[in-house]
Amino acid sequence: MANRYIFNTALTGYIKVDEPGGQWNNCTFAFKLPADILRQCEQDREELLSWAKTKVPNPSRVNINKPKWDEEGLVKYSYLGETGRAAVVFVDTEGTPLEKDVLASIRKGTKVRIIAQQSPYTKPSLGTKLVVVGVQVIELNTGDVMDSGALEGDDVAALFAAATPIDGYKASSPQVRVSQAEPELDNGDYDF
C-alpha cells in the first residue's frame, strides 16, 4: 500500500548528490512540498496509519512517529551510505541520467520535478516513509549560472502565457493607430 506524488519544487538546504560523504557517509538534499501536495500527503498519511494500525496486535500501545516533513512541508532526504535507501535517479528534461560532475554541481535553487512515494511501516513503531523515486532537473543552478536549456518559440510563448496577462500588442488582433511622434534624425552630433 503506497501513494505516489509527482510535483515541481526547488532543491534547498545542504545538497550532496554525486556520491556519499560527510559525517553520515550519505547523499542528501532537501525540498519543500507544494501546498496541495502537502495536504494530500497529510490526508494519505492518516489513511496509511489507519491501515497500519490493523496490522499490529495492540495499536494503542505502539508509538507513532512524526511525518517525514515539517509543518511547512520541508523534507530533508538522505540516501545511500548508512541510510540503506537506494540511490535516487537524477535525469534531465529529456530523461537522460545526469553525469557525476553535473550532480556535483547542483546547488540550492535548482528547479526540479520529483516523484515520491509514501508508504506505511509497523516496526519498530508506526509511521509512514517518504521515498524519492526520481528527480528531473528542470533548471540547473550551479551557484554561478542557471541553465534552463534552449527555449524554442513555443516554449517562450508558454512561459509568457503563464505570466500575468497585460494589455498590448496582439498579432491576432492588431490595434493600428497613427503615430504622433516624428522620427528623430541623426545630425551627427555625438557627445562622448
CATH number where 61 lies: 2.40.50.140
What does the mean pLDDT of the chain come to?
A: 80
Stretch 160-188: mean pLDDT: 48
The burial of 85, by beta-carbon neighbours within 10 Å (0-12 exposed, 13-18 middle, 19 or more buried), is given as middle
Residue-wise pLDDT for 105-143, tens only, equals 999 999 999 999 999 998 888 999 999 999 999 998 887
Residue 163, pLDDT > 50, answer no
Give a yes or no: residue 158 inside a domain.
no
Give a yes or no: residue 117 inside a domain.
yes
Q: Indicate the number of domains in the chain.
A: 1
Distances (CA, A) of 162 to 29, 122, 158, 159, 166: 29, 44, 6, 5, 11
Confidence label for 153 from pLDDT (cuts 50, 70 and 90): low
The larger pLDDT score, comparing residue 165 to residue 46, is at 46
Lowest mean pLDDT among 4-13, 97-106, 140-149, 156-165: 156-165
Q: Which three cell numbers stand for residue 93?
A: 528534461
Residue 174, pLDDT > 50, answer no
Provide the domain limits for residue 127. 3-147
Predicted TM-score of the model (pTM): 0.71
Stretch 2-18: mean pLDDT: 92
The per-residue pLDDT for 68 is 93
CA-to-CA distance for 110 and 11, rounded, in angstroms? 5
Question: Quick one: which of 133, 131, 114, 126 has its CA closest to 46?
Answer: 126
Give a yes or no: residue 175 inside a domain.
no
CA-to-CA distance for 136 and 114, rounded, in angstroms? 6
The larger pLDDT score, comparing residue 24 to residue 164, is at 24
Give a yes or no: residue 75 inside a domain.
yes
Residue 23, pLDDT > 60, answer yes
Stretch 14-35: mean pLDDT: 90
Give a yes or no: residue 132 inside a domain.
yes
Residue 90, pLDDT > 90, answer yes
| Residue carrying C-alpha cell 512540498 | 33
Give a yes or no: residue 168 inside a domain.
no
Residue-wise pLDDT for 57-73, tens only, equals 887 788 889 999 999 99
Q: Identity (one letter) of the amino acid at 166?
A: I
Question: Quick one: which of 87, 78, 75 has its CA closest to 32?
Answer: 75
The per-residue pLDDT for 168 is 43
Q: Is omega for the bond preceding 124 within 30 degrees of 0, making it cis? A: yes
Lowest mean pLDDT among 28-37, 41-50, 85-94, 172-181: 172-181
